[in-house]
Copies of this chain bind each other. A is one copy, B any other.
Amino acid sequence: MAEPAATGGQALLFLTDEQLRKGIEAMFFAYRGFTADPDRILGDMEYGRAHHRALHFIHRSPGTTVNNLLSILGVTKQSLNRVLRSLIADGLVASRVGRQDKRERHLHLTDKGSTLERALSDAQRDRMRSAYRAAGPVAVAGFRQVLEAMMDHDMRRQYDALKDRPV
C-alpha cells in the first residue's frame, strides 16, 4: 500500500504515501494563507470567519433562505442564527418575509453589507490571483480538479449548484 509503483510502474509514483503527505501538508499551510487576509480585516471588528462565510454566500445567492444557507454552510441553525442576528442588527443583512411562502426569510446584503463583503473578498481574491498568476492556467485547472475530487458528495452538489451561476 505504501508503494503503488509495484502495481503500475513509474506512472503511479504520484500516489505514494510520501506524495500524499506533501499534499496534506500543502492543504494545511495553504488554507491558513487562504483565510489570513480576511481574518486580519475581521480581527479589527466584532466579526469573525463565520460572518465572512455568511456574507459570501448571501452575496452569491441573494434572496437565499435560511435553510438553504444552512445546508451550504453545514452548521446548525443555532450557530448560523447567532451570526445572522448580529449581521441583521448591525444593518449588514436584510431579512425579508417570503412572498409565496411567508414562513421563509429571504436574505440580502444591504449597501453596508456589500461594502464589507467586497472588502473581504477583494483581500481573498488578491491572494488567489497572485497564486494563480504565479502557477499559470494549466496548474490552476489541475488545482480545481483535485479540490473538486476531494469534496464530499453533498458538498460537491452544493458547489456545483453555485459554480456556473453568473454573479
Contact = CB atoms under 8 A, between A and B. Distances in A.
Contact of A149 (B18, B53, B131, B159): B131
A24 B120 CA distance: 12
A137 B15 CA distance: 8
A100 B149 CA distance: 47
A163 interface: yes
A109 B24 CA distance: 20
A50 interface: no
Interface in A18-54: 18-34, 36, 53
Contacts of A155: 29, 32-33
B133 A150 contact: no
A150 B64 CA distance: 31
Interface residues of A, number: 63
A145 B150 contact: no
Copies of this chain per assembly: 2
Given A135-B142, A140-B23, A15 B150 contact: no
Specify which of A29, A33, A144, A156 lies most central, judged by the most chain B CB atoms within 10 Å of its CB: A29
A25 to B, nearest CB: 6
A69 to B, nearest CB: 14
B33 A151 contact: yes
Please list the 5 inter-chain residue pairs (A to B) with the smallest Cβ-Cβ separation, ordered nearest first.
Answer: A142-B142, A139-B142, A131-B149, A30-B147, A143-B146
Given A18-B167, A19-B140, A30-B147, 9 more contacts: A20-B125, A21-B121, A22-B144, A23-B144, A26-B159, A29-B151, A131-B147, A139-B146, A142-B143
